[in-house]
Amino acid sequence: MKKCAFSNEISDYEYLFRLNRTIDYIHNHLGEDLNLTSLARIACFSKYHFHRIFSTFLSETVNEYVRRVRLEKAVRMLTLDRDKSVLEIALDCGFSSSQNFAKAFKSHFGVTPTYVRTAYNWGRVKSKLGKGEGLTEKECGVPNEKDHPLDSRLMIKKIIKDQAPMSVRVAKIPDFHVAYVRSIGPYRAETIQPAFDRLMRWAIPRELMDENTFVIGAIWNDPNVTPAEKCIYDACITVPKLATGDGKINIQRLRGGKFAVYHCDLKPGEHQEAWMKLIIHWLLSSAYLPDNRPFFEIMYNFSGKFPLGRHALDLCLPVKPS
Instruction: Give the model's pLDDT for residue 172.
Output: 97
Q: pTM, whole model, 2 decimals?
A: 0.85
Q: Structural domain tally of the chain?
A: 4
Mean pLDDT of the chain: 84
Q: Does some domain include residue 164?
A: no
| One domain, residues 174 and 307 | yes
Instruction: Kindly report, residue by residue over 260-297, the tens digit of the pLDDT.
Output: 999 988 877 788 888 888 988 888 888 898 998 999 99
Domain that holds residue 149: 122-159
Instruction: Give the model's pLDDT for residue 107.
Output: 95
Spatial distance between the Cα atoms of 138 and 144, rounded to a whole number of angstroms: 8
Instruction: Kindly report, residue by residue over 13-36, the tens digit of the pLDDT.
Output: 888 999 999 999 999 999 999 999
Instruction: Give the model's pLDDT for residue 302.
Output: 64
Q: Grade residue 145 by pLDDT with cuts at 50, 70 and 90.
A: very low
Instruction: Kindly report, residue by residue over 51-97, the tens digit of the pLDDT.
Output: 999 999 999 999 999 999 999 999 999 988 888 999 999 999 999 99
| One domain, residues 143 and 193 | no
Q: Grade residue 148 by pLDDT with cuts at 50, 70 and 90.
A: very low
Of the residues 20, 39, 59, which one is the last residue of a structural domain?
59
| One domain, residues 271 and 301 | yes
Region 159-176: what's the mean pLDDT?
A: 81
Q: Does some domain include residue 2?
A: no
| One domain, residues 108 and 55 | no
Give me the amino acid identity at 146. Answer: K
Sign of the alpha-carbon dihedral angle for 283, 231, 145, 153: negative
